[in-house]
Amino acid sequence: MSDANLSHVALVHTEDRKSGVESSIRALGINPAKNKDVLIKPNFNTADLCPGSTHNDTLVALVEEIWKLGAKSVSLGERSYPENRSVMAQKGIIPLMEKLDVRIIDFDGLDEKDWVKVDAPNSHWQDGFRIARPILESDCLIYTCCLKTHQFGGVITLSLKNSVGVVPTARHGYSYMSELHSSPHQRKLIAEINAPFKPALVVLDGIDAFVDGGPATGRHASGNVFLASTDRVAIDAVGVAVLKSLGSNDQVMNTRIFDQEQIARAVELGLGAASPGDINLVAADDQSQGYCDRIAEILNRG
């Protein structure tokens, strides 16, 4: 396969979130934000400490980098498990974003017309699902996610799982979360949420990880890594390889990476890399090369 057809994932071995954000994005050699209205979707499922939620330092560094890339505007959009504004308040997000000239779009406050129905033929959803209109209409959507396992059926919660936060809850009058968590097809449903839209960039903060438990709390490990890609499947596959390197739970350690149901279903939907051979894992600097080689070996081994 030619280099042009590969899904590139940049890797930075670091304990510093600012350099992790900057170096991982720059290593990709792309600028999706220039002259665009950028919408950032973080992981604010709860206000728990990273990796329970996106680290404030990561978010600030990402916003600063997006402005440097020449964005026309920057917004932050999210729907949390508790009420979203309370999560942002607990994390101190609102004054941080105001200082950085970032508009906050609280998905909890969207009108009914702004939850757009997706019929999703051939999906495992009983009657499709709805997605926040700002996600579907974004000029440039950027994800930032964490590195962790999920003890409530998801198995892993990286970039594909981050998309659950763009679907409404019972607070909005819909039963999608009940359907998701009670379904034997939960991992497939997660992947299917991702089909109607595509982030222009995903940045994964793996400095801290949960290798068991999650998504709010769990068994902690230090991954000391940042990943960046335009491919959700590729970055999740590399993320699972990192979890394997850290010694994760049986569902991660004893399942081949592309056999993880979230990833396998995303591949079926054509959302990204179909195998390790479709992924070009690139060290962002010389200091990251050894780490990168170890993760690539695990990825290729499956």
pLDDT in tens, 77-133: 999 999 999 999 999 999 999 999 999 999 999 999 999 999 988 999 999 999 999
Give residue-wise pLDDT tens across range 44-66: 999 999 999 999 999 999 999 99
pLDDT for the residue numbered 121:
84
Q: What is the DSSP string of 69-129?
A: TT-SEEEEEE--SS-HHHHHHHHTHHHHHHHTT-EEEEGGG--GGGEEEE--TT-SSBTBE
Give residue-wise pLDDT tens across range 182-204: 999 999 999 999 999 999 999 99
Residue 228: band (very low, low, confident or very high) from pLDDT cuts 50, 70, 90: very high
Residue 3: band (very low, low, confident or very high) from pLDDT cuts 50, 70, 90: confident
Amino acid at 151: Q
| pLDDT at 1 exceeding the cut of 80 | no
What is the C-alpha separation between 132 and 126, in angstroms, rounded?
A: 19
Give residue-wise pLDDT tens across range 276-302: 999 999 999 999 999 999 999 999 999
Overall pTM surpassing 0.85 (yes/no)? yes
**Exposure of 128 in the CB half-sphere (CA atoms within 13 A):** 10
How many Cβ atoms from other residues are within 10 Å of residue 143's Cβ? 24
| pLDDT at 143 exceeding the cut of 70 | yes
Q: What is the DSSP string of 209-239?
A: EEEEE-SSSEEEEE--EEEEES-HHHHHHHH
Task: Give me the domains of the chain, ranges plus CATH numbers.
Answer: 3-301 (3.40.50)
Share of the chain above pLDDT 90, in %: 97
What is the C-alpha separation between 240 and 253, in angstroms, rounded?
A: 9
pLDDT for the residue numbered 249:
98
Q: How wide is the angle at C-alpha 149 spanned by C-alphas 168 and 123, nearest 5°?
A: 45
